[in-house]
Chain A
Amino acid sequence: MSDKPRVATVSLCGCFGCHMSLLDIDERILQLVQLVSFDRTPLTDIKTIGDCDLGLIEGGVANAENVEVLREFRGHCKVLVAVGACAVNGGIPTMRNQFSLRECLDESYVNGVGVYHPGIPTDAEIPLLLNQVHPIHEVVKVDYFIPGCPPSADTLWTFLTELLAGQPIAFPYTQIRYD
């Protein structure tokens, strides 16, 4: 058991769509658990990360907690992968980058339609937001980038199986076309 490569995954500022896409490998997940063992990931609900061979990151970096988690992953994973548009480029959440943080929070918690008890939450338990949303490679070194919103299950499957087999990763054209 312990000699299998260990894999951790996390969704930072993402929608979990990339994780859902990973689950779309369907019954191949049985093969996957033969190949690897899972460390911290929403699939196991393990909350802290141990030393891993591979870390898959979904989502960009939008708050202080994202920075902390991402750094922990980088520190514990031999290979770190940006999975999907948000991790690669920041994605949809970067639409807020053209506004100031206060404008965004005012819109959500003060001026927005249907807001009761207006006021920006300031509880110390809530991670502080960064001024802007960033792709993960601007915060830590990233080894691989898999584009797509989300990358398809087949794309992720190709990536994982070829990487684990120690092969150069080559995608069939159908797995990396997006229109």
Chain B
Amino acid sequence: MGGPQVSEVQGFVTESLGRRGRVPEHLLQHLIAVQQRFGWVPPVAVESLAAELDVTRTQVRAAIAFYAFLHERPRGDFDILFSDNITDRMLGNRHLLARLAKQLGMGTHETRADGRVTLGLTSCTGMCDQGPALLVNGRAVTGLTAERIDRIAALVGECVPLERWPGDYFRVEDNVRRRGLLLSNADADGAGLRKLVDQGPAAALAEIERSGLRGRGGAGFTTALKWKFCREAPEGDRYVVCNADEGEPGTFKDRVLLTSYADLVLEGMTICAAVVGARRGFIYLRGEYAYLLPHLESVLARRRAEGLLGESILGQAGFDFEIAVHLGAGAYICGEESALIESLEGKRGVTRKRPPFPVVSGYRDRPTVVNNVETFLAAARVVRWGGYWFRGEGTDQSAGSKILSVSGDCARPGIYEYPFGTPVRRVLIDCGAERTQAVQVSGAAGTTLAPAEFDRLIAFEDLSTAGSFMVFDQSRDLLDMVQNFAAFFAHESCGFCTPCRVGGALLRNLVEKVAAGQASEHDLAELRQIGGVMRQTSYCGLGTTAPNHILNTLDKFPDIYRRRLRSADYTPSFDLDGALSEARAIAGRDDDAAHIPETLPTTAGAAV
């Protein structure tokens, strides 16, 4: 492969620098632009960016190595990544990948020799209600079927550019199935913002406080308190960040909110800016949703034109607020707020030590409010309709409603909004789930529920959730889910701390050993032991929650492990006799002495 001309790459980098800015914070955005334009980041782009942004070449290369969607080697002209969440697997994504690879005459994880096409897998792309899905050059293709795969093989074979692929391949449905407080009030007339201007930011904050609104990203921190801390921070710049890095497997509600409720999300951010005194805000949009960028840019432009964004909002002198959209590039960890801020600053998304929390020292070490998409939407509604309106639903500790992303084995996957305090069973009935074996609430990092727990409540005081709700019926082997999640966490660990980096890989290997029918009781004890250490000692939430699914299923579904055990005691972690294969071939031997017998004396007890 010849690759692009040096001058062409340099020209593009120069143009990108002119358009996006010359500060080191924009490094990641430049890299994403280069990746999109050339299909990889050529060495000359690394050199140019390092020189122009005054960062080291190593920093640039470290960023490329960190983000899954950036590459130091050329990818195919068609870079095709199949979403590999467990819900995609349940819908047969592996068969479809194999089918496409066969038709294209290549392996399932490689770039074809002629450089036309690359195939591979990627973490959940947030299309679980309309999977299996894939990304081609960053664009989501949903509802894959064998016919669609055959057609894609033909389009790739004929080198048809994406713009001329059938438009319905790229159609992403909202699938809103149940509307509650938030989703049934989609009117985006700026009434909340007007009320803010009429009554002042202090009154708006009082409404938020009255509403009892808590963060919708999963942790449930009281929103009014967060805003208040930021508002009361010493003089100087402060920032508002919307966390749209919806990476938790099985979650896709933010995609819908940004598609059909973008105005309300932006209004919530603008209200927050007025309350805390910020002049700049960011939407950190996960790379998988890059297709939403033109839509968001157009909504932002319209709001500027309508005087709802920009300088002197609604004619108020001094009420200035501008929002920029920053893209992620395939890193689950960036959903954690401090990693997200690192990424906003153009660096690798490694979590920061806390405290100080972002609300004290966030973007550029200044006070920063980071809230979930849904939280901003709720805040806009609360300011418009009042805190008591919001409190009218929910429980004591969990006011209002929660938007769930329902996927897996049910007749009607999609978006469901419920008052907090709704039992899991109710959701299962509404989405048409039958013979349900288990529900995974709040994503891979969440809780695995057995049928005996289906009366538990969606609420911070019982089942706290960011909204992912994956259903598994009795036809499923839950160990497939465990294998999928274990591989996910091993892949998504940022590598900074040992318990998560090493523990994640060990858990994945042990789960694979169980799945291969090679494990023993000893390995199950190891799973518990390593999982416990990860919970206790990992640096951030990714590591502390990564073993949840294993520890949950070991307790609640022991049979998925037990029925595969090879021995009650101990089994080696590799095929001992198979490990002599090369030596036997070299020595030309196959006699009995050239083999290792299956088992010898069993192990003894433990204590002296």
Contact = CB atoms under 8 A, between A and B. Distances in A.
A96 B211 CA distance: 64
Interface residues of A, number: 36
A94 to B, nearest CB: 13
A131 B583 CA distance: 7
Interface string A141-155: 101000000000000
Contact of A72 (B584, B587, B601, B605): B601
A74 B580 CA distance: 21
Contacts of B582: 100-102, 129, 131
Interface string A91-111: 000000000111001000000
A141 B569 contact: yes
Interface in B10-26: none
Contacts of B600: 68, 71-72, 75
A164 B607 CA distance: 10
Contacts of B603: 74-75, 140-141
B317 interface: no
The range of chain B's interface size is: 20 to 34
Contact of B604 (A5, A78, A100, A132): A78
Interface string A24-58: 00000000000000000000000000000110000
A122 B584 CA distance: 9
B572 interface: yes
B583 A139 contact: no
Nearest to B587: A122
Contacts of B1: none
A1 interface: no
Interface in A111-140: 120, 122, 124, 128-132, 134, 138-140
A77 interface: yes
Nearest to B591: A124
A74 B574 CA distance: 17
Contacts of A76: 601, 604
B604 A101 contact: no
B596 interface: yes
B572 A140 contact: yes
Interface string B237-250: 00000000000000
Given A71-B601, A141-B569, A141-B603, A122 B586 contact: yes
A51 to B, nearest CB: 9
A166 interface: yes
Interface string B546-585: 0000000000000000000000011011101001111110
Most buried by B among A54, A75, A128: A128
A128 B608 contact: no
B422 to A, nearest CB: 47
B601 A128 contact: no
A22 interface: no
B569 A120 contact: no
B606 interface: yes
Contacts of A129: 580, 582-583
Most buried by B among A77, A131, A164: A131
A75 B584 CA distance: 27
A9 to B, nearest CB: 15
Given A129-B583, A131-B583, A140-B572, A54 B608 contact: yes
Contacts of B587: 120, 122, 128
Interface in A157-173: 163-164, 166
A60 B606 CA distance: 22
A72 B603 CA distance: 10
Contact of A67 (B576, B607, B608): B576
Looking at chain B's contact residues, the main secondary structure is: loop
A64 interface: yes
Contact of A75 (B580, B589, B604): B604
B594 interface: yes
B602 interface: yes
B2 interface: no
Contact of A141 (B570, B574, B589): B570
Given A72-B600, A72-B601, A128-B587, A138 B573 contact: yes
Contacts of B602: 75
Contact of A139 (B576, B605, B606): B576
B588 interface: yes
Contacts of B574: 134, 138
A49 B471 CA distance: 55
A74 B607 CA distance: 13
A134 B601 CA distance: 20
B608 A141 contact: no
B522 interface: yes
A120 B572 CA distance: 29
A130 B586 CA distance: 12
A79 B522 contact: no
Contacts of A143: 606
Contacts of A166: 608
Contact of B608 (A78, A105, A138): A78
B593 interface: yes
A77 B605 CA distance: 9
A53 B608 contact: yes
A122 B594 CA distance: 11
Most buried by A among B569, B581, B586: B586
Interface string B527-559: 000000000000000000000000000000000
12 contacts: A54-B608, A64-B580, A67-B596, A71-B601, A75-B601, A78-B605, A78-B606, A79-B606, A101-B582, A130-B580, A134-B579, A140-B572
Interface of B: 522, 569-570, 572-574, 576, 579-584, 586-589, 591, 593-594, 596, 600-608
7 smallest beta-carbon distances between A and B, as pairs: A75-B601, A128-B583, A101-B582, A141-B570, A122-B587, A138-B573, A71-B600
Interface of A: 5, 53-54, 63-64, 67-68, 71-72, 74-79, 100-102, 105, 120, 122, 124, 128-132, 134, 138-141, 143, 163-164, 166
Given A5-B608, A78-B604, 12 more contacts: A63-B583, A74-B601, A74-B604, A79-B607, A101-B582, A124-B591, A128-B587, A130-B580, A134-B579, A139-B576, A140-B603, A141-B569
